Amino acid sequence: MNKAVKFTSVVLLSMLLSVGVAAKTLKFATLAPAGTTWMKEMTAGADRVKQRTDGRVKLKFYPGGVMGNDQSVHRKIKIGQLHGGAFTQAGLSQANNSIQAMGLPMLFRSLDEVDYVRERMDPVLKQEMESSGFVLLGISEGGFARILSKQPMQDLEALRSSKVWVPEGDEVGLTVFKGLGITPISLPISDVFTGLQTGLIETVPVNPTSAIAFQWHSSTAYMTDVPITFLIGVLAITKSEFDKLSVADQAVLREEMGAVFKRLDKINRIDNEAARAALQQHGINFVMPNPGEIERWREISAKSVDEMVKEGVISAHIVEQVRGYLRTYRNQQ
């Protein structure tokens, strides 16, 4: 073998080895069941990332909660078994409570308000989370959670007499319910279906699509038709793993998964409307609170948020930004 051929072979071998070393499989856990729109969109985005990075960056998803609840997922992230996950705001709040600001109780009254505030707050929340060690690759609308229950929940007294669920680790939800005089039952999402079947819990805040996806509607009969909280979903990766990628591959990952979550924003809004109609077809009765109850809930919820700010449960300056943008929007209207 002449020198030229030897040199070419060494160069090619070095290139192949470097590609192999640089290749990275990023592992994400999610509670989203396999086959849902969320999983289909994220998988399609992963395929595009793999293609555009020539296989250097691969995304592997573990759907349906197979990696356990949020606390288990965070433990597995710490030991490197996972690199990130698709979370609700409550699921990621242990890293930085600022992410809960968009889900404050009784805050938003319409999706127009949400759109206005999100346009200004999404970049802020991404920056906040990155300072806490997580890169948010995408933020998507989950829609408004409403009260799904076995009995009609039309006043605060009915809620207080019911067994109300709060997501495990959701300090904001826990504090607000206690402020309303409710002692909620904290469970991971994976246990809610069984809890409803056995009567351990009777009332859950949930958006229409999740009510159907997790089959919670099968053990309930009523939905109180008032937006309680606004839900978001995020795809987060640890900054330490993200920083291991080349600048070019980081850009591809942000671009493709960001595009996925922008599509999910539109899809989820449509799906929630369709799910609402489906719930009615399945026999769920939509009821309104008694006169004066909505304002009563808003006043108590606002006081609870103020208390949480004082106690450091949630970031004061982030809450003020959200409330400030909301005041501006309402004044303009």
pLDDT value at residue 5: 46
pLDDT value at residue 156: 94
pLDDT, tens only, 132-155: 999 999 999 999 999 999 999 999
Cα dihedral: 89, 333, 112, 231 (round 10)? 20
Q: Which CATH number fits domain 3-332: 3.30.300.130, 3.40.1410.10, 3.40.190.290, 3.40.190.170?
A: 3.40.190.170
For β-strands 165-167 and 222-238, DSSP reports them as unpaired
pLDDT, tens only, 98-121: 999 999 999 999 999 999 999 999
Beta partners for residue 122, in sequence order: none
Average pLDDT over residues 227-255: 96
% of residues, the chain, pLDDT over 70: 93
Rounded distance, CA 238 to CA 78, Å?
Answer: 9
Q: Which two tokens stand for residue 138?
A: 């995408």
Whole-prediction pTM: 0.86
Average pLDDT over residues 26-53: 93
- DSSP E strands in 121-277: the ranges are 134-149, 165-167, 185-187, 203-206, 222-238
Q: Which two tokens stand for residue 13?
A: 């071998």
SS3 33: coil
Average pLDDT over residues 244-249: 97
* pLDDT level of residue 50 (50, 70, 90 thresholds): very high
pLDDT, tens only, 166-197: 988 788 888 888 888 999 999 988 899 999 99
Are 58 and 22 in contact, with CB atoms under 8 Å apart?
no
pLDDT, tens only, 199-234: 999 999 999 999 998 999 999 999 999 999 999 999
Domains of the chain, by residue range, sit at: 3-332
- Per 3-state DSSP, what percentage of the chain is helix, strand, and coil (rounded to 5)? 55, 20, 25
Angle among Cα 130, 303, 115 to the nearest 5 degrees reads 50
Q: Which amino acid is at 141?
A: E
pLDDT value at residue 189: 86
E strand or H helix that includes residue 77: helix 70-78
